[in-house]
């Protein structure tokens, strides 16, 4: 009895998982070059929709099990020619509540970043040293959050295989421009063009970071990684990220991404 | 059983030798499985409090146990394109070395630096790219000199020296990484000098050097001894026998140690030398044998009589030595216990050989050669004559002799309290050695290579975001900086002050702690957003419940750490902290604890061993008075040597403490031989004066031979490149010569004054089947 129930559930899950991906899977049948695959990943991972809002909780977990929380609202708006704007409002930790952060991202150029510090009532421009910097002290870098230029790596398809229950391309990326890694191997789900797993190797060729997409959900027609983990294989430190209340194409206004709104965050988008 | 053993050996000499060799091969068969542990850190188990706490601290702050410091010096100043190019290139190459924690290598090209540039806050490496123009170079110079977090840590205040801090992965060998860095450095051209320093370099270099030098010096000492023995006995086979016994004992105890699964630690690596020292005691057998050969026609009888005469003292010395080492087992330090136990075992093996293998060899050596060689041996010969004169002096003016001893004792007692218990591994290398020079350069020019952490803990989350707490840390830090051994201190306070300044238009007067907790929290958060997470984490935990104060010391002296901690405590007493607790950690603190625990433990067990030896002496002579008299040469030797160490100002460190154990094994032998033989002689010749003179001349010659032989063999150690070996050599020579001379000079006077009329059971012929089973009492 129980077995039959389990079979029914499995069949149901499989069917459900296969349906929305159907057309994309057809597309995937066409032979894909490495650059083409990566371009699709960039689109699916970092830029779906015209805009996006999400409540992001990041749990930073040390090797010893100590946890720290980063709770923030993230607004993203896609501009023209690959430009993107990010507005981030911090809810937690407590002493940074109300801190806001603005990132203007340009292809093939350093980001512009501004930060508002409520304790000093001060907006400061922050230089973007390199995109391999940690994002708010987590194991994710800015690049993990907002993407990396396609040309910064040399991409090669290393084959196809099942990974985490998905039919995947294996794409290897060798860093050509400055990066925290020298080599990255990614398993790209053919159906969603999202990476289900990524392994990062350092200059000595040793594994040092592992990314996993722990939950992928369809939101507003866009497959979205709603739970993800980045683990530092060397230190054992990891960061678990949950994207909640994700919404696409909600009409976030362009003027929000400005210094004025850093000081007075838009109530409408930030609960 | 032991009484029949020599007879059996003499009857079946070939079989005895064959059995001894076969048994040795069984033990030796284990040796290929030998594991070595060259890390002196392991003297304290990984479960010891200090190591557990250090690991905890490393976890809290993402630190690494070991760090190498590469010092780079350019006399004309570092602000030069080629020089900075070299620093940048070297950093890139070091990051790629195996065993190095790539992400946390810190140099001017990787260290996070907070700067304000035209209103833009920037966290970037101090030196993101090598400057192209003179203007940029000058700007870089200003940025460095203006930043208190950089000066004296990464760049010296005169701009001549910079450092690359290279943390090592768990278990990486510091010497191997240092060697690789030295190779990289060797490929650099130009006017830079490079220095590779740090605790792991010294420690692992020492560990591996120690094994290497043991492998050189033990055989060399053995060879020299062989030559000297040949000179004394003119018979190669007999000379080989003594060295052979030492080798067999070494193989037995090393084999057994490996067989039970113990690694060979630094301590036990010294076992061959110790056993060789103990094996020389067999000289007394040969010494007596040569005298006997002249008196007795039949060789078999000469051998058996020799064993019968020398057997009792040899057995007692073995017992005393074995007990002395055995007592080390009561100590708390595992490698020391292993060392004590197996050296005691080796001592017993040597004794077993003395009653089997040695008599067997004596039967196998060609008799005509032996007789020829023994002809030179007589009481009238030069050495014996001058010894007799020495004995005569002691007997004729016993009071004056004893007073001279008392004067020596007083001198020693004045020196004794001056001994400083201190360990400094860097000083185990010679002043001109690479390790020591590198350390000196970094200690003079930069904050220092020895790293102490002071963990500041508050109560609850965010405790260390409280401006009051930070101000207290700032003040304590300022106080610590007054201490001359402290080269540089760094804490989250410096970072917060820096952030405050940079946020507030980079005005130098804003280099201070802000007034609100929120501002501190937001600074730290901002820094964490912009910098490598590790940079912030090494100074404060994510919960901000704890902060880490880095204290760089200019010396590896354990005493220096003690001073710093005492100062910190005094400061806390004078200014009670606002709910903060301070706890030391890090490698410098480990060295202090190691110093305390290992050395104090050695001293404790050494004193216990002395007491045990005294009891054994008293029991063996069945008299406290005789026991005390026989203890005098040992006691006086030890006190004089340590008194001298006190006067010279040499630290009582690890090698010296190990030697204390050796002195136990050696210095007591002579007295036992002397008194035993004297009392045997009394049975034949009831006149004490004549008997004493005879003892000084005949067994005394064996004693002097033993002492000279050993001094000679260990003189080779004076040429070692490691100072502990030089210490070992000098110490052994002093010990052997002093205790031999003291035995022959003071014992006759003491016996005349204090023990002459003491009725002793052993003066009568011993009852067969010894009554005292422990001591194997009496002549057998």
Q: What are phi and psi of B440, to 5 degrees?
A: -60, -45
pLDDT tens by residue, B4-19: 788 888 888 888 889 9
**Residues B247 and B341 placed together within one structural domain of the fold:** yes
| Token pair in block for residue A51 | 């805009």
Say whether B119 and A124 touch across the interface (CB within 8 A).
yes
Domain contains A237: yes
**Residues B137 and B93 placed together within one structural domain of the fold:** yes
Domain contains A153: yes
**Residues B197 and B295 placed together within one structural domain of the fold:** no
Domain at B352, CATH number: 1.20.1640.10
Domain contains A3: no
In percent, the amount of chain A with pLDDT more than 70 equals 86
**Residues B75 and B150 placed together within one structural domain of the fold:** yes
CA distance B70 to B106: 10
Q: Is the pLDDT of residue B85 over 60?
A: yes
Number of domains, chain B: 3
CA B12 to chain centre: 44
Q: What are phi and psi of B722, to 5 degrees?
A: -105, 130
3-state secondary structure of A208: strand
CA–CA min distance A209, chain B (Å):
12
CA–CA min distance A138, chain B (Å):
7
Say whether A127 and B465 touch across the interface (CB within 8 A).
no
Q: Are B284 and B313 in contact (CB under 8 A)?
A: yes
**Residues B369 and B464 placed together within one structural domain of the fold:** no
With contacts defined as CB-CB under 8 Å, which chain B residues touch A95? 462, 465, 517-518, 520-522, 525
- What mean pLDDT is predicted for residues A29-52? 78
Q: Domain range holding B84?
A: 61-203
CA–CA min distance A118, chain B (Å):
8
Query: What is the pLDDT, as a whole number, of residue B255?
Result: 92
CA distance A232 to A239: 9
With contacts defined as CB-CB under 8 Å, which chain A residues touch B525? 90, 93, 95-96, 99, 136-137
Among residues A205, A190, A196, which one has the least CA distance to residue A24? A190
CA–CA min distance A179, chain B (Å):
12
pLDDT tens by residue, B721-735: 778 778 878 888 888
Number of domains, chain A: 1
Say whether A125 and B465 touch across the interface (CB within 8 A).
no
Query: What is the pLDDT, as a whole number, of residue B3?
Result: 64
More confident: B139 or B756: B139
CA–CA min distance B655, chain A (Å):
37
pLDDT tens by residue, B577-593: 888 899 999 888 988 88
Query: What is the pLDDT, as a whole number, of residue A27?
Result: 43
> Tokens 């004792």 map to which residue?
B409
Q: Which long-range contacts (CB under 8 A, 24 or more apart) does B53-60 make?
A: B53/B583, B53/B585, B54/B585, B54/B586, B54/B587, B54/B589, B54/B590, B57/B453, B57/B455, B57/B548, B57/B585, B57/B586, B59/A62, B59/A63, B59/A64, B60/A64, B60/B455, B60/B541, B60/B546, B60/B548
In angstroms, the Cα distances linking B44 to B222, B270, B530, B610 are 32, 18, 40, 24
> Quick one: pLDDT band at residue B765, thresholds 50, 70, 90?
very low
Contacts of B238 (CB under 8 A, 6+ apart): B229, B286, B361, B362, B365, B370
- What mean pLDDT is predicted for residues A227-244? 90
- What mean pLDDT is predicted for residues A116-143? 80
| Token pair in block for residue B700 | 């005394």
Domain contains A229: yes
**Residues B266 and B199 placed together within one structural domain of the fold:** no
Domain contains A182: yes
Domain contains B466: yes
Query: What is the pLDDT, as a whole number, of residue A203?
Result: 81
Say whether B522 and A93 touch across the interface (CB within 8 A).
no
N-to-C CA span, chain B: 11
- What mean pLDDT is predicted for residues A231-241? 89
Domain contains A162: yes
Domain contains B410: no
Pick from A64, A119, A235: which is nearest to B522 by CB?
A: A119
> Quick one: pLDDT band at residue A228, thresholds 50, 70, 90?
very high
Q: Which chain B residue shows the shortest CA-CA distance from A60?
A: B542
Alpha-carbon torsion B23, B24, B25, B28, what sign?
A: positive
**Residues B581 and B473 placed together within one structural domain of the fold:** yes
With contacts defined as CB-CB under 8 Å, which chain B residues touch A134? 528-529, 531-533
Q: What are phi and psi of A231, to 5 degrees?
A: -120, 135
**Residues B103 and B184 placed together within one structural domain of the fold:** yes
CA–CA min distance A141, chain B (Å):
10
- Structure-derived torsion over alpha carbons of residues B64, B70, B76, B79, reported in degrees to the nearest 10: -40
Pick from A138, A204, A235: which is nearest to B98 by CB?
A: A204
N-to-C CA span, chain A: 47
Pick from A119, A129, A135: which is nearest to B122 by CB?
A: A129
CA–CA min distance B454, chain A (Å):
20
Say whether B123 and A127 touch across the interface (CB within 8 A).
yes
CA atoms within 13 A on the CB side of B353: 31
Q: Which chain A residue shows the shortest CA-CA distance from B128?
A: A129
Query: What is the pLDDT, as a whole number, of residue B566?
Result: 93
More confident: A9 or B678: B678
The segment with the largest mean pLDDT, out of A79-83, B272-276, B548-552, is B548-552
| Token pair in block for residue A229 | 């983990």
Pick from A124, A133, A135: which is nearest to B121 by CB?
A: A124
- What mean pLDDT is predicted for residues B743-751? 87
**Residues B20 and B83 placed together within one structural domain of the fold:** no
CA atoms within 13 A on the CB side of B70: 32
Pick from A96, A203, A234: which is nearest to B96 by CB?
A: A203
- What mean pLDDT is predicted for residues B409-436? 82
Residues in B whose CB is inside 8 Å of some CB of A read 59-60, 62, 95-96, 98, 101-103, 117, 119-125, 128, 462, 465, 503-504, 514, 516-522, 525-526, 528-533, 536, 541-543
- What mean pLDDT is predicted for residues B507-522? 86
CA atoms within 13 A on the CB side of B54: 25
More confident: B497 or B207: B497
In percent, the amount of chain B with pLDDT more than 90 equals 8
pLDDT tens by residue, A12-30: 555 555 444 444 444 444 4
Query: What is the pLDDT, as a whole number, of residue B764?
Result: 40
pLDDT tens by residue, B87-131: 888 888 888 888 888 888 888 888 888 777 767 777 777 787 888
- Average pLDDT over all residues of chain B: 82
Domain contains B538: yes
Domain contains B540: yes
With contacts defined as CB-CB under 8 Å, which chain A residues touch B522? 95-96, 99, 117-120
| Token pair in block for residue B219 | 């055989």
Q: Where are the alpha helices (DSSP H) in B467-508?
A: 467-480, 492-503
pLDDT tens by residue, B467-510: 999 999 999 999 999 999 998 898 999 989 988 888 887 787 88
- Average pLDDT over all residues of chain A: 82
> Tokens 């004549």 map to which residue?
B690
Query: What is the pLDDT, as a whole number, of residue A100?
Result: 92
- Structure-derived torsion over alpha carbons of residues B255, B259, B265, B266, reported in degrees to the nearest 10: 0
pLDDT tens by residue, B310-319: 887 788 888 8
Number of H helices, E strands in chain A: 4, 13
Query: What is the pLDDT, as a whole number, of residue A200?
Result: 92
> Quick one: pLDDT band at residue A62, thresholds 50, 70, 90?
confident
pLDDT tens by residue, B680-702: 888 888 888 888 888 888 888 88
Contacts of B79 (CB under 8 A, 6+ apart): B137, B138, B140, B141, B159
Q: Which of A73-77, B511-515, B704-708 has the lowest mean pLDDT?
A: B704-708
With contacts defined as CB-CB under 8 Å, which chain B residues touch A181? none
Say whether B542 and A68 touch across the interface (CB within 8 A).
yes
pLDDT tens by residue, B366-390: 777 777 777 666 555 666 777 777 7
Among residues B743, B749, B762, which one has the least CA distance to residue B621? B762
Among B592, B610, B626, identify where a domain stops. B592
Q: Which of B205-209, B449-453, B543-547, B556-560 has the lowest mean pLDDT?
A: B205-209
Query: What is the pLDDT, as a whole number, of residue B558?
Result: 84
With contacts defined as CB-CB under 8 Å, which chain B residues touch A118? 518, 522
Say whether A119 and B518 touch across the interface (CB within 8 A).
yes
> Quick one: pLDDT band at residue B573, thresholds 50, 70, 90?
very high
Q: Is the pLDDT of residue B527 over 80?
A: yes
Size of interface A-B (CB pairs under 8 A): 111
Say whether A95 and B526 touch across the interface (CB within 8 A).
no
Domain contains A158: yes
Q: Which of A13-17, A233-237, B332-336, B668-672 has the lowest mean pLDDT?
A: A13-17
Q: Is the pLDDT of residue A242 over 90?
A: yes
Domain contains B211: no
Query: What is the pLDDT, as a whole number, of residue B769?
Result: 35
Question: Angle, to 10 degrees, between the axis of helix B699-715 and the axis of helix B283-295?
Answer: 140
> Quick one: pLDDT band at residue A89, thresholds 50, 70, 90?
very high
Q: What are phi and psi of A178, to 5 degrees?
A: -50, 135
Query: What is the pLDDT, as a whole number, of residue B476?
Result: 92
**Residues B273 and B334 placed together within one structural domain of the fold:** yes
In percent, the amount of chain B with pLDDT more than 70 equals 94
Q: What is Dmax (Cα atoms) for chain A?
A: 65
Among B538, B573, B592, identify where a domain stops. B592
Domain contains A9: no
| Token pair in block for residue B512 | 């201070």
ω into A93 cis (within 30 of 0): yes
Among B550, B569, B592, identify where a domain stops. B592
Q: Domain range holding A207?
A: 30-263
ipTM for this model: 0.79
Pick from B124, B462, B519: which is nearest to A129 by CB?
A: B124
Domain at A251, CATH number: 2.50.20.10
CA distance B584 to B561: 9
Q: Which residue out of B533, B539, B541 would a mutagenesis test of the A interface target, given it has the greatest number of A Cβ atoms within 10 Å? A: B533
Buried b (16+ CB within 10 A) or exposed e, A47-84: bbbebbbbbbebbbbbeeeeebebbbbbbbbbeeeeeb
**Residues B241 and B353 placed together within one structural domain of the fold:** yes
């Amino acid at each position: 009895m129980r077995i039959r129930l389990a079979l029914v559930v499995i069949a149901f899950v499989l069917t459900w998982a296969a349906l929305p991906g159907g057309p994309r899977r057809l597309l995937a049948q066409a032979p894909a070059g490495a650059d083409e695959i990566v371009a699709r990943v960039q689109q699916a991972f970092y830029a779906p929709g015209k805009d996006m809002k999400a409540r992001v909780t990041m749990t930073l977990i040390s090797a010893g099990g100590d946890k720290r929380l980063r709770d923030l609202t993230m607004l993203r708006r896609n501009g023209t020619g690959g430009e993107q704007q990010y507005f981030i409002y911090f809810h937690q930790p407590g002493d940074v509540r109300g801190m806001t952060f603005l990132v203007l991202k340009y292809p093939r150029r350093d980001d512009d970043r501004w930060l508002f510090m409520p304790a000093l009532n001060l907006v400061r421009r922050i230089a973007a040293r390199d995109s391999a910097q940690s994002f708010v002290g987590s194991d994710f870098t800015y690049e993990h959050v907002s993407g990396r230029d396609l040309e910064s790596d040399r991409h090669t398809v290393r084959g196809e295989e099942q990974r985490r229950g998905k039919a995947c391309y294996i794409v290897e990326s060798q860093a050509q421009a400055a990066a925290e890694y020298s080599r990255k191997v990614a398993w790209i789900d053919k159906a969603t063009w999202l990476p289900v797993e990524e392994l990062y190797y350092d200059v000595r060729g040793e594994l040092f970071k592992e990314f996993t997409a722990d939950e992928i959900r369809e939101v507003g027609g866009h497959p979205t990684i709603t739970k993800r983990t980045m683990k530092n294989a060397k230190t054992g430190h990891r960061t678990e990220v949950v994207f909640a209340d994700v919404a696409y194409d909600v009409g976030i206004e362009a003027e929000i991404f400005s210094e004025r709104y850093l000081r007075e965050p838009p109530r409408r988008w930030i609960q | 059983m032991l009484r029949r053993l020599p007879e059996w050996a003499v009857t079946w000499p070939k079989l005895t030798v064959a059995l001894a060799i076969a048994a040795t091969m069984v033990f030796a068969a284990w040796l290929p499985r030998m594991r070595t542990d060259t890390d002196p850190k392991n003297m304290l188990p990984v479960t010891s409090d200090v190591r557990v706490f250090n690991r905890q601290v490393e976890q809290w702050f993402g630190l690494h146990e070991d760090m190498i410091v590469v010092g780079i010096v350019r006399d004309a100043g570092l602000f030069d394109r080629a020089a900075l190019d070299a620093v940048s290139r070297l950093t890139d190459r070091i990051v790629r070395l195996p065993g190095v924690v790539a992400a946390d290598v810190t140099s001017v090209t990787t260290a996070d630096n907070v700067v304000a540039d035209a209103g833009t806050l920037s966290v970037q490496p101090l030196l993101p790219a090598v400057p192209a123009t003179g203007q940029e170079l000058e700007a870089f110079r200003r940025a460095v000199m203006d930043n208190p977090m950089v000066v004296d840590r990464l760049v010296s205040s005169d701009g001549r020296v910079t450092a690359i801090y290279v943390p090592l992965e768990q278990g990486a060998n510091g010497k191997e990484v240092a060697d690789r860095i030295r190779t990289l450095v060797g490929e650099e051209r130009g006017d830079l000098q490079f220095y590779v320093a740090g605790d792991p370099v010294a420690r692992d270099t020492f560990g591996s050097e120690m094994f290497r030098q043991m492998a050189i010096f033990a055989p060399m000492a053995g060879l020299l001894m062989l030559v000297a023995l040949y000179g004394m006995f003119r018979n190669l086979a007999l000379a080989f026998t003594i060295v052979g016994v030492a080798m067999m004992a070494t193989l037995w105890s090393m084999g057994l140690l490996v067989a039970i699964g113990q690694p060979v630690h630094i301590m036990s690596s010294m076992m061959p030398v110790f056993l060789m020292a103990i094996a020389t005691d067999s000289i007394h057998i040969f010494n007596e044998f040569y005298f006997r050969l002249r008196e007795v026609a039949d060789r078999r009888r000469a051998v058996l009589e020799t064993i019968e005469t020398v057997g009792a003292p040899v057995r007692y010395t073995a017992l005393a030595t074995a007990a002395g080492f055995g007592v080390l087992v009561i100590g708390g330090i595992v490698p020391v216990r292993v060392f004590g136990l197996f050296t005691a075992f080796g001592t017993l093996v040597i004794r077993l050989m003395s009653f089997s293998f040695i008599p067997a060899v004596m039967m196998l050596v060609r008799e005509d050669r032996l007789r020829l060689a023994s002809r030179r041996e007589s009481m009238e010969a030069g050495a014996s004559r001058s010894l007799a004169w020495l004995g005569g002096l002691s007997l004729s003016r016993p009071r004056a002799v004893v007073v001279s001893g008392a004067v020596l004792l007083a001198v020693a007692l004045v020196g004794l309290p001056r001994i400083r218990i201190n360990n400094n591994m860097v000083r185990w290398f010679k002043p001109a050695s690479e390790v020591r020079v590198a350390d000196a350069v970094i200690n003079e020019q930069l904050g220092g290579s020895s790293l102490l952490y002071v963990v500041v803990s508050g109560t609850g989350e965010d405790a260390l975001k409280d401006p009051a707490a930070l101000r207290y840390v700032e003040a304590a830090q300022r106080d610590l900086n007054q201490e001359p051994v402290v080269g540089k201190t760094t804490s989250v306070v410096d970072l917060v002050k820096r952030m405050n300044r940079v946020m507030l238009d980079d005005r130098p007067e804003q280099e201070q702690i802000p007034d609100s907790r929120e501002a501190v929290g937001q600074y730290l958060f901002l820094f964490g957003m912009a910098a490598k997470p590790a940079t912030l984490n090494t100074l404060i935990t994510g919960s901000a419940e704890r902060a880490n104060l880095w204290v760089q010391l200019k010396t590896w002296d354990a005493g220096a750490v003690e001073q710093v901690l005492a100062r910190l405590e005094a400061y806390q007493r004078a200014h009670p902290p606002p709910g903060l607790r301070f706890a030391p950690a890090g490698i410098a603190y480990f060295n202090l604890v190691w110093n305390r625990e290992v050395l104090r433990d050695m001293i404790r067990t050494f004193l216990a061993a002395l007491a045990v030896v005294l009891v054994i002496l008293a029991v063996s002579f069945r008299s406290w008075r005789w026991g005390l008299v026989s203890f005098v040469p040992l006691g006086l030797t030890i006190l004089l040597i340590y008194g001298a160490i006190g006067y010279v100002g040499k630290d009582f460190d690890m090698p010296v403490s190990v030697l204390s154990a050796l002195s136990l094994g050696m210095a007591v032998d002579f007295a036992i031989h002397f008194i035993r033989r004297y009392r045997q002689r009394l049975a034949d010749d009831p006149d004490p004066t004549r008997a004493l003179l005879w003892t000084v001349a005949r067994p005394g010659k064996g004693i002097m031979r033993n002492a000279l032989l050993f001094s000679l063999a260990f003189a080779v150690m004076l040429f070692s490149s490691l100072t502990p070996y030089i210490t070992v050599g000098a110490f052994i020579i002093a010990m052997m010569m002093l205790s031999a001379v003291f035995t022959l000079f003071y014992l006759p006077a003491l016996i005349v004054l204090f023990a002459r009329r003491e009725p002793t059971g052993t003066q009568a012929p011993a009852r067969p089947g010894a009554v005292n089973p422990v001591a194997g009492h009496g002549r057998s």
